[in-house]
Chain A
Amino acid sequence: MPHASGGRDRWSEPLTELPGDGAAALCAALDEVLDPELPISVMELGLVYGVAFEHGTARVDLTFTATACPCMDFIKQDVCDRLAQEPWVESVEINEVWDPPWTTARISEAGRRKLKRLGVGV
C-alpha cells in the first residue's frame, strides 16, 4: 500500500449485500475518502465527475485540482481501496479526466461549510 493516506479509520464497514443502486452506494463510499490535503471528501471537493457500476466493476471518472497535484497517487489508491473493500465490487477502474477543468466552484456546499468552520475560505 505505497500511497495510502489518512482518514481510513473513518471508513464504514462494507455492505453485506449488493445494494439496489450500485452507483449511489459507490458515491456514498467515495464520500468517505478524504482529500489528503483538505479535510473534506473527494466527493465534496468535486473531484468525482462520474460513477458507474456494471457487472461488478466500479468505474470512476476522477479529476484533480492541479495537473501537478502531488497527491494523485494517494487519491487513486484511496479510491481504489475504499471501493474494493465492498464485497460486491469485483474491480475498480479509474478514468483520469481533465474536462471540464476543476475549479473551486466544484466544491459542494457541504464541503464549503466544513472548510469555513476550519477557517479555510474558498
Chain B
Amino acid sequence: MTAARGNSRPATGDRSADAPGVPPAPGPLARHILSLADTKRLLGIRYSDWLLGSPSIETGIAASSMAQDEWGHARLLYSMLKRLGFDPVAVEQDRPAERYYSAPALDDPFPDWAAFVAATVVVDGALAVALESFSHGNFALARSRVPKMLAEEEYHRQFGAAWFARLAGAGGEGAAHLEAAARAMLPTTLAWLLPDDPAYEAVVAECDIWEAGRVRARFRERVGAVLAGVGVRLEEISPARAGWDPERRRGPGAPGEEAVERARGDRNRALFVE
C-alpha cells in the first residue's frame, strides 16, 4: 500500500515531451497500454458529460456508473506502466493533448444521446475486445487485472445493446442519428482497434495477444448484430488509416483541450495527494 502522505502535487508547468517520468518514445507494449488507458480515460469523460441531461434519471445514473468504471479501468491500466519503468502519476497528469493515444472517436463531445449510445457499442465494444485480447496474452498484469474489467464491461455491453435496439426499433430521427453516429465512429475506431503498423505487430509477437484477424472477428461477433439494427454492415466498413500516427497509435487529431484538462485534473492539481 502507498499510504496517503498528504503531500500535494504542485503543477509542474511542464507538459512537454520531456516532462519528468514521461519517456518521449514509449516502446510497443507501453504504447499499447497507453492506447487502452487513454481511451478508457476519455470515454469516461464523454460518459460523464451525460450524468445530467440524458433521457431519464436512470440513464444518467447508468452513465455515471459507466464513467466510474472507465476511470477505474484506466487507473489500473496506467499503473501497469510502472512495471515498464514509467511514473504512472506523471503519465496521467503531465501530458498535453497531442500526446494522448485515445481513439479519435472520443476527441469531441458526443453531440446527442444517439452518439452516446453508438459509442457504448462501437468504442466501448472495441475497447472490450482489445482488453479481451490483452488478457489472453502473456503479460502477467493484464492476465490478472483485465478479467475484472471485462466482468464490469458486461454491464456496459448490455446497456449499449439495449439502448441501441430501442433507438433503432423506434425508427425515425432517432434511428437516423444513431446510424449516422455509428458510421462516423466506426472507421477511426476500427483503425484504432486494428493498427496496421510494426509496433502493434511487435506487441502481438511479444505479448502473444490476438492478431488482427481474430480481433476483427471477435469485434464482429460482439457488435455486428447490434449494428445491423440500423443497417450497418461491419464487413463493409474500412478502417480509416489516412494520417496514421504510429507513435500515438491513432489517426490524426487529438482530444479536445478541455477534456484533457479534466483528465489531468488540472483544476485540482494543488489538492492531489499521492
Residues on A facing B (Cβ under 8 Å): 2-3, 66-70, 73, 76-77, 80, 92-94, 96-103
Q: B151 to A101, Cβ gap below 8 A?
A: yes
Q: 17 other contacts beyond A67-B75, A68-B75, A77-B4, with CB at 8 A cut-off?
A: A2-B4, A3-B4, A66-B69, A66-B152, A67-B69, A68-B69, A68-B72, A69-B72, A76-B3, A94-B1, A98-B76, A98-B144, A98-B148, A99-B148, A101-B147, A101-B148, A101-B151
Which partner residue on chain A sits nearest B144 by CB separation? Answer: A99
In the complex, chain A residues whose CB is within 8 Å of the CB of B148? 67, 98-99, 101-102
- Measured CB to CB, the residues of B under 8 A from A are 1, 3-4, 6, 68-69, 71-73, 75-76, 143-145, 147-149, 151-152, 273
Interface of B: prevailing SS: helix
How many residue pairs between the two chains, A and B, have CB atoms under 8 Å in the bound complex?
Answer: 52
Kindly state the separation between the CA atoms of A73 and B4 in the bound complex, as whole angstroms: 8
Given that A98-B145, A100-B147, A101-B148 are contacting pairs, would A67 and B1 also be in contact in the complex, using a CB cutoff of 8 Å? no
Contact assessment for A92 and B152 in the assembled complex, using a CB-CB cutoff below 8 Å: no
Give 25 A-B contacts (CB < 8 Å), ordered by A residue: A66-B68, A66-B69, A66-B72, A67-B69, A67-B75, A67-B148, A67-B149, A68-B69, A68-B72, A68-B73, A68-B75, A69-B72, A76-B1, A76-B3, A77-B3, A80-B1, A93-B1, A94-B1, A96-B1, A98-B76, A99-B143, A99-B145, A99-B148, A101-B148, A102-B148
Interface of A is mostly: loop
**Which residues of chain B are within 8 angstroms of A100 by Cβ–Cβ distance?**
147
CB distance from A92 to the nearest CB of B (A): 7
- Given contacts A67-B148, A99-B143, A99-B144, A80 and B3 within 8 Å (CB-CB): yes
